[in-house]
């Protein structure tokens, strides 16, 4: 055979022409009769807008970084909320049972969204991931907006010592006096804020809905765009970046609470005082900004990357040749 390999060379129109060893070494699969629609589905962009300058970013590693960082801040939203719950209980006059319902609403929405959105996520993976991230962002902003409507009591000047239900205030000249009226005012203010409780329930449920598509479509999309030998490394990198979001949220959450809720610290009180109300809403607002920053590029990724398309064509060709032997 003079070193010829006995399989057909797909680069020739004549199926009987044999391929030499050198030709097989330089083998590049050819996609025949590629439709314009297929080319659009493999290019980055949104709808009919698919500019050429985005093509250098149409790579698996770009998607992995964007998706990993989006997950990092998505986990931060959930983790920071658990840190802020005691402050939210205080501001909105909630019980521990009611704050538990907020977390439960998030968990209930996940299975519901998985059943409803499974089919859509399997066909439009990158877009469903980005839409899910944006839904989480909007839901978190909806919860954060309650700080615009909530009433916050004016702190009492002086050192406050709480004894049962009565506040004893030590004035600047060391005189003491009872301040039951201020204690009742704080309770009345929190009671008026209770009407915004439903916004946390709705927001948590929407967070669960939005957090489901990335979990369904993310791993599947990575499996398609990465070769089998690199898929395990890609998944490991994704999980490491994502899991770091929770401990980071625990560290940063305390920093947010060291600022007063109005960002203007009243005179005479410190974070150690019982009257202090930390800026709980900052812990939810800042991760939302980064989710929006990294989720928009994810929406631009095509249904099928060029690298994944070449791998699929090559595998199909090898499978066809094996069946002919």
The H or E element that residue 89 is part of is: helix 60-92
CB count in 10 Å sphere of residue 278: 23
Averaged over 236-265, what is the pLDDT? Answer: 89
Task: List the one residue out of 248, 300, 316, 324 whose CA is nearest residue 31.
Answer: 316
For the cut 50, the answer to whether the pLDDT of residue 164 exceeds it is no
pLDDT at 80 over 80: yes
pLDDT tens track for 201-248? 999 999 988 888 888 888 888 988 888 888 899 999 999 999 998 889
Identify any residues that bridge with 19 across adjacent strands, giving them in sequence order.
5
**pLDDT-derived band of residue 268, with 50, 70 and 90 as boundaries?**
confident
pTM metric for this prediction: 0.71
What residues have CB less than 8 Å from 19, skipping those under 6 apart? Answer: 4, 5, 7, 8, 9, 11, 12, 27
Which pLDDT score, from 0 to 100, does residue 35 have? 52
Q: What is the mean pLDDT of the chain?
A: 76
Please state, for a pLDDT cut of 90, what percent of the chain lies above it.
Answer: 19
């Amino acid at each position: 055979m003079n070193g010829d390999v006995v399989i057909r060379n797909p680069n020739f129109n004549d199926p009987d022409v044999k391929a030499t060893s050198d030709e097989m070494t330089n083998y590049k699969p050819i996609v025949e009769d590629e439709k314009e629609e297929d080319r659009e589905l493999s290019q980055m962009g949104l709808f009919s807008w698919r500019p050429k300058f985005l093509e250098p970013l149409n790579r698996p590693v770009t998607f992995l970084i964007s998706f990993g960082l989006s997950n990092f801040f998505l986990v931060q939203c959930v983790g920071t909320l658990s840190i802020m719950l005691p402050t939210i209980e205080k501001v909105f006059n909630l019980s521990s049972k009611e704050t538990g319902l907020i977390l439960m609403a998030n968990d209930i929405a996940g299975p519901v969204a998985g059943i409803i959105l499974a089919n859509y996520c399997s066909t439009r993976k990158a877009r469903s991931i980005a839409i899910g991230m944006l839904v989480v962002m909007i839901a978190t902003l909806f919860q954060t907006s309650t700080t615009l409507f909530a009433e916050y009591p004016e702190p009492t000047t002086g050192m406050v010592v709480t004894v049962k239900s009565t506040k004893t205030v030590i004035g600047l000249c060391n005189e003491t006096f009872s301040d039951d009226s201020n204690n009742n005012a704080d309770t009345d203010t929190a009671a008026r804020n209770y009407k915004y409780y439903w916004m946390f329930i709705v927001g948590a449920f929407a967070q669960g809905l939005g957090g489901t598509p990335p979990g369904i479509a993310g791993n599947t999309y990575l499996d398609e765009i990465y070769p089998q030998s690199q898929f395990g490394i890609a998944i490991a990198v994704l999980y490491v970046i994502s899991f770091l979001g929770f401990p980071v949220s625990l560290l940063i959450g305390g920093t947010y609470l060291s600022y007063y809720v109005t960002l203007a610290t009243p005179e005479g009180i410190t974070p150690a005082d019982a009257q202090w109300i930390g800026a709980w809403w900052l812990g939810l607002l800042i991760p939302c900004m980064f989710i929006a920053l990294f989720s928009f590029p994810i929406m631009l990724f095509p249904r099928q990357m060029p690298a994944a398309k070449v791998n699929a064509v090559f595998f199909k060709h090898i499978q066809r040749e094996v069946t002919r032997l």
